[in-house]
Amino acid sequence: MSMPGTPSPSSKPSAPGTRAVASDSTAPTVSVLVMTYNHERLIAQALDSVLMQGTAFPCEILISEDCSTDGTREIVLGYRERHPDMIRLLLSERNLHSNEIVARGLRAARGRYVALLDGDDYWTSPQKLQRQVDFLDAHPECALCFHNALVVDEAHGRPPHRWTPDHQKEISTLDELWYGNFIATCSTMYRNGLVGELPQWYAALFPITDWPLHILHAERGAIGYVDEVMAVYRYHSGGLYSPLAESRKLDATAAFYEVMNENLGGRYESVITRARFRYFYDWAKEYTRRGDLDAATRCVRRCLTRRPPGIAPLVELAAMWLRVQRRRFARPSIHREAPASRA
């Protein structure tokens, strides 16, 4: 990997409201932003996968570390000592537990493009950065691009599978992104400076980190796809989002739609309403298939609280409701939750 001249080890993030793209001749083409917290067992593999990149352009690595309680900080300090011309550290004095860990990295990025990597994931192709830069250079209409990633489930031992479905188009739009996040964090590359200073509400969306960023960038251009598996997304017990209970993820997604709709001025309310309806309808189908009829019922009710106009959504919900009730009366639900304890 080429190195970006000799940036100062004490470089600080750009001031709020400014664009982070450097214009001098020694500026990196790509800033790699690695976000990490308590990844002592995994962070070295992530950083090594960045350092192995073969590129025809200079890169920098920004490591945003959130005051880990294990040995993660000591490990990244060691990498910084060994690669002082390439690595800059953004270290929390206390655990922030918010999306500011990402936001400060984007403010600090000097490259024309920014690639994201969580400290518990890693890249598998040494050509990953080169392939994405080549794609964005060839597709000026795209604000971001991504590739496929292999999901490795260390928590449950399920067989690996691909994050992005086989039918993914080469060019997608913002409307499609509202229906679900088909972009793995570890596969993302943005054009730097398109969004400018991130809005204050972004920090509070944690632990949903990348989806709102994808949307903010997709407001400014198309989404490109490189049809290759070039990274591994780890599903493990130490992750911040993947190990959450499904019910908490559903709550977080419902809140995500509300926050995004409110803070984007309601200009996407129609597509958000359709996407939210489809999201919970699909989960109602899945819970019915599993026999978890209480969870299916909750999802149907969420569909009812905000549904697209017209008779078709009501017909769909009525059919789903009848399906759930038939299953309920056919046999008792084996997933019925215990009543909440009283103080």
The per-residue pLDDT for 235 is 82
Strands 87-91 and 59-65: parallel
In this structure, what token pair is assigned to residue 117? 């990597």
What number of other Cβ atoms are within 10 A of residue 300's Cβ? 23
Q: Which domains does the chain have, with CATH numbers?
A: 30-235 (3.90.550.10), 246-330 (no CATH)
Write down the number of H helices and E strands in the chain: 10, 10
Q: Name beta bridge partners: 138.
A: none
Q: What is the pTM of this model?
A: 0.84
Segment 73-88, tens digit of pLDDT:
999 999 999 999 999 9
The per-residue pLDDT for 19 is 39
SS3 track for 217-232? HHCCCEEEEEEEEEEE
Q: Taking residues 103-114, what's their average pLDDT?
A: 97
Q: Taking residues 256-277, what's their average pLDDT?
A: 95
Q: Taking residues 26-41, what's their average pLDDT?
A: 95
Q: Which residues contact 159 (CB under 8 A, 6 or more apart)?
A: 153
Kindly list the distances between the CA atom of residue 339 and the CA atoms of 48, 258, 336, 342, in Å, as whole numbers in the listed order.
Answer: 49, 28, 9, 9
The per-residue pLDDT for 249 is 84
pLDDT class of 158 with cuts at 50, 70, 90:
confident
Segment 164-217, tens digit of pLDDT:
999 999 999 999 999 999 999 999 999 999 998 999 999 888 888 999 999 999
The per-residue pLDDT for 2 is 58
The per-residue pLDDT for 193 is 94
pLDDT class of 12 with cuts at 50, 70, 90:
very low
